[in-house]
Amino acid sequence: MNFINKIQETLLTDQRYLYLFDGLKNTVIITVCALILGVILGTLLAIIRVNYQNGARGAVMQILNAIAGLYLTVIRGTPIMVQLMIMYYVIWQSGEPIPVAIVSFGINSAAYVAEVIRSGIQSVDKGQTEAGRSLGLSSRQTMVRIILPQAFKNVAPAIFNEFIALVKETSVAGYVGIQDLTKSGDIIRSQTYDAVTPLLFVALVYLVIVIGLTQILGIIERRLAVSDHR
Amino acid sequence: MIIVKNLQKTFQTATGEKIQVLRGIDIHIEKGEKIAVIGPSGSGKSTFLRCLNLLEQPTGGEIFFEGQQINDSKVDIDKLRAQMGMVFQHFNLFPHLSVKRNITLAPTLLKLKSQEEADEEAIRLLERVGLSDKADAYPNQLAGGQKQRIAIVRSLAMNPKVMLFDEPTSALDPEMVGEVLDVIKELADDGMTLVIVTHEMGFAREVASRVIFIDEGKIQEENEPEEFFTHPKNPRLQDFLSKVL
């Protein structure tokens, strides 16, 4: 069987390309939702850490900071695959696999995003906070309207990297029975007894996604930099 | 309008060492007064100014603004700060927002004005300082003097009752100092209450109604400008003036 036949066998016979489409759809859903969850959760964690480091030492703050510290240590100290399986088999036993995966990857991503955003917040000059507060804005308004936009801009490349890493990390979703892109390739392999061609296609699709994302993110980054033009 | 009684501020360094910057400042500032605060670097004059709107939390003493004690945990400091404009040495414009948005952000966010009202006010104020063509520019596209004039406009857009200036011309190239001082002078002529920490002695003499000399955390001398500069009594002030004039 030559290569053309193999491609035909892998993609067209029995409409096997549909496996890849479904897998791609699940991969995209999990990645995008997990990223949104990760950025929101990560930002909250970052704000807790920064407030604590800036000297907020109330009882609530002490507890929140301790929780945040534990969270970061545990999540960054264990593999995502183990976290995913703990979530699926232990914590959320009767859960739908895809929501379980979204929550797992979101929680995982938040730990990395939190550290990135924390450094972003700390990179914004203290005078910005003072200017905001001196105009009568509350600390929350100052954080949301003045500090965070600048912080996000400063760390945008690092968050985009996290996004790209997340796309590829979701490839372990198959372990909890999700038919993601990687799993789809595996299903095709089990039907055609040909490992090379489906894996090649799966790799190609990931590559195209990441290249596409890199392009899009580059455009966004240039647009964010519009206020820097002199 | 502002009454300060025995104001004290002690900073604690990272190593736990305590540094007392303000050692008991007493002053009454009346409505419409223009107070110039001068003194050597490290004397506590900027800390004094920053205590007035609680950017620094005093460690002792009392500050009253229109009869209300402001260094009291029950006070809504945001409401008070909205009535006190502050201009910084390093401008602190918001670099991610256009000039117009810099000016309208606080009034609209605090619901003092609608977006249209705030926009109109911004344009009117920008015209007043000769920068109406910069409304859609971003701060990083502007020169220092322009930035500081816009920072002043940003504070004015809140219709403050008093304006605090923390060395507003110290970070500027010499040729831009005049344009900023002109704006402040115009404000003074309009009857705005001002407290300005400055190294511009000529300006202090010309614009201030009262000049205050702070050294080692205390007011060492205060007087109307003519007498203050021509017949200084305190030896420290005599020494300071001999160095800067």
> Which residues in chain A have Cβ-Cβ distances shorter than 8 Å to B80?
136
Q: Rounded distance, CA B192 to CA B184, Å?
A: 9
Question: Within a 13 Å sphere around the CA of B240, how many CA atoms are in the beta-carbon half?
Answer: 23
- How far from the centroid of its chain's Cα atoms is residue B58's Cα? 17
Q: Test A135 with B81 for CB contact under 8 angstroms.
A: yes
Q: Where are the alpha helices (DSSP H) in B58-136?
A: 77-81, 99-109, 115-128
* B212 or A191, which is more confident: B212
Contacts of B140 in chain A (CB under 8 A): 227-230
User: Residue A153 is nearest to which of B90, B96, B138, comparing CB atoms?
Assistant: B96
Q: Residue A17 to residues A46, A184, B10: CA-CA distances in angstroms?
A: 42, 9, 71
Chain B CB contacts of A226 below 8 Å: 138
- CB contacts, 8 Å: B92 with chain A: 125, 127-128, 130-131
Contact in structure between A130 and A139 (CB atoms under 8 Å): no
pTM of the model: 0.87
- In one-letter notation, the amino acid at residue A189 is R
A187-191, B56-60, B222-226, B234-238: which has the minimum mean pLDDT?
Answer: A187-191
Are B139 and A149 a contacting pair at CB < 8 A? Answer: no
Using one digit for the tens of pLDDT, what is the confidence trace for B134-145? 999 999 999 999
Using the beta-carbon criterion (under 8 Å), do B106 and A135 form an inter-chain contact? yes
Task: Express as a percent the part of chain B with pLDDT over 90.
Answer: 93
Cβ distance of B109 and A137 shorter than 8 Å? yes
| C-beta separation of A143 from A56 below 8 A | no
Q: Does the CB of A76 have a partner CB in chain B at under 8 Å? A: no
Q: Select from B50, B92, B110, B134 the residue whose CB has the most chain A CBs within 10 Å, as the one to mutate to test that interface.
A: B92
Q: Are A137 and B106 an interchain contact pair (Cβ–Cβ within 8 Å)?
A: yes
Q: How confident is the model at residue B154 (pLDDT cuts 50, 70, 90)?
A: very high
Least confident of A61-70, B9-18, B82-91, B123-132: B9-18
Report pLDDT for A114: 95
Structure-token pair, residue B97? 């927002």
Local confidence band at B119 (pLDDT 50, 70, 90 cut-offs) = very high
Q: How high is the mean pLDDT in each 10-residue block of chain A (230 residues)? A: 79 83 93 95 95 85 94 95 94 89 96 95 95 96 95 90 92 92 90 88 93 89 74
Asked: is A3-228 a CATH 1.10.150.240 domain? The reply is no
In a mutational test of the B interface, the residue from A135, A144, A155 whose CB has the highest number of chain B CBs within 10 Å is A135
Partner-chain residue, chosen from B55, B79, B94, that has the shortest CB–CB distance to A128: B94
User: What pLDDT sits at residue A230?
Assistant: 57
- A with B: how many residue pairs have Cβ under 8 Å apart? 75
What is the average pLDDT score of chain B? 94
A189 in contact with chain B, both atoms CB, cutoff 8 A: no
